[in-house]
Amino acid sequence: MTRLSVIAPVYNEEGNIYDLYLSITNALKEKVESYEIVLVNDGSRDRSAVLLNEIAQMDEAVKVIHFEKNYGQTAAIWAGIKNSTGELIALMDADLQTDPRDIFRLMPFIERIDFVNGKRVDRQEPMLKKISSRLGNRIRNWITGEAIYDTGCPMKLFTREVADSFHLYNGMHRFLPTLAKMNGFSVLEVTVTHQRRKHGVSKYGILKEGCTGFMDAMVIGWLKKRGIMYRVKGGN
């Protein structure tokens, strides 16, 4: 089995794709005994598909999945997980605002923690985006009963056992730490860097994300209350 799978959803990121590939490769080489890079093209309408295919032909460690149309970030993450082979799985975005070198900030904790979530404390984004993200995170925590500082951080590292426990629905990529905890796994947040976007624009509208995130949080909160929890009494 591959030691590490790095998964990144891609949607209209033609200006970032080669830099993404190089940054991941440079971060991993000589630090991981075996790895694969799983890039999921979520129905991009620019030249992303062409560039992804060129990279996959160049490097056998790169696996590319093309969606017929745009199915959304949760679907892309889910497809990447299902088509990966790593003992460990790292998630990141293709916009290069997350740095693949931060995987090794999370790695030391994975021996005792099942799911390590990145925590962006110095976000390089417009003030309105920062405020809306913080507000959204607080509302999600309030509804779900969690205390996760940055559930939406794209940088995550978790074990294959955690991945196999997931069954995702649309919008649930925002709640992966909570879902891991609901499935009985340990979760820890570790500070990671956050960089300014160099190419392209954000694909997520603040109002739309806020509305859908609120509804998704309601679903997660309901599932937490309805989950089956029990302990077996010790006997002879």
Q: What is the CATH number of the domain that holds 99?
A: 3.90.550.10
Q: Which residues contact 180 (CB under 8 A, 6 or more apart)?
A: 114, 115, 158, 162, 165, 166, 187
Specify if 235 maps to a domain.
Answer: no
How many separate domains does the chain show? 1
Measured distance CA(149)–CA(130) in Å, rounded: 13
pLDDT string in tens for the chain (236-residue length) = 679 999 999 999 999 999 999 999 999 998 998 999 999 999 999 999 999 999 999 999 999 999 999 999 999 999 999 999 999 999 999 989 899 999 999 999 999 999 999 998 776 555 555 555 665 666 666 555 566 767 788 999 999 999 999 988 888 888 899 889 888 999 999 999 977 666 555 655 444 555 566 566 666 665 666 555 555 766 55
Contact 182, 227 (CB under 8 A): yes
Query: Is residue 137, in this structure, part of any structural domain at all?
Result: yes
* Full residue range of the structural domain in which residue 15 is found: 4-226
Q: Can you give the pTM of this predicted structure? A: 0.80
Q: 């794709």: which residue's tokens? A: 17
